[in-house]
Amino acid sequence: MFSMRDKKKNDSKPTKTDLLIEEAVRAVESHETESETSTELQSKDAPSKDSGAIARIDLQQFVEKEAYLRLAADFENFRRRAVKDRQDAEKSGREKILRGFLEILDNLDRGLSQATDESGPLADGIRMVLSQVDTWLKSEGLFRVESVGQVFDPAVHEAISQESSLEVPSGTIIREIRRGYRWADRLLRPAAVIVSKGSEEIK
């Protein structure tokens, strides 16, 4: 930019017009300097603004991922509960059917015990049916609880009464009144038994 002092070196005193022109020139120069400074500051702030935008995007992605993982975990828990509930319902239904079938089996046992001719065709027929039932029950995972001759175990036996005996030691099962069964890993029904009191009360 030029200066009035350079243009009029010979003038000892600038005119009013010269002063106004100089002031205008200084104003223009000042505006140009401020514009350059503002541009530099904006250039320096740009990375900061970009970093903030990236941080917001990363946070949003993190929140969305957390929400997805939480939803996936909830769904997996629901699926497992549904499978377990269905299995429990099926097992409960089968258990109810098996318990009812055991009642029929008890009646066959009573019928066999009341047979007047143990070697007759009726008794043989009942034994055949009982054998078939035992085979089927084993295929369903049911097994008889051993009782006669075993030491009484309250976990699997139900004592109906006690009897004195010279042959059977005290605490040992003498007779079985009703069969007991295990199903899988639990007791479906205890065996109803008569337990020996030994010979202490026999005179």
Question: Which H or E element spans position 187?
Answer: strand 186-189
Spatial separation of the C-alpha atoms in residues 135 and 143, rounded to whole Å: 10
Among 72, 97, 115, identify where a domain stops. 72
Spatial separation of the C-alpha atoms in residues 171 and 62, rounded to whole Å: 69
Residue 200 has pLDDT above 80, yes or no: no
pLDDT grade for 15, boundaries at 50, 70 and 90: low
Among 72, 94, 117, identify where a domain stops. 72
Per-residue pLDDT tens over the stretch 150-198? 999 999 999 999 999 888 999 999 999 998 998 877 888 999 999 998 8
The edge-to-edge listing of strands for the beta sheet with 181-183 is: 142-144, 181-183, 186-189
Check: pTM over 0.85? Answer yes or no: no
Contact 132, 156 (CB under 8 A): no
| 149 inside domain | yes
| 99 inside domain | no
Backbone angles phi, psi at 185, to 5 degrees: -105, 15
| 2 inside domain | no
| 165 inside domain | yes
Domain count, the chain: 2
Among 45, 72, 99, identify where a domain stops. 72
| 153 inside domain | yes
Q: For the domain that residue 170 is a member of, what is the CATH number?
A: 2.30.22.10
| 65 inside domain | yes
Per-residue pLDDT tens over the stretch 122-136? 888 888 888 888 888
| 111 inside domain | no
Q: Which domain holds residue 46?
A: 8-72
What's the pLDDT score for residue 8? 46
| 187 inside domain | yes
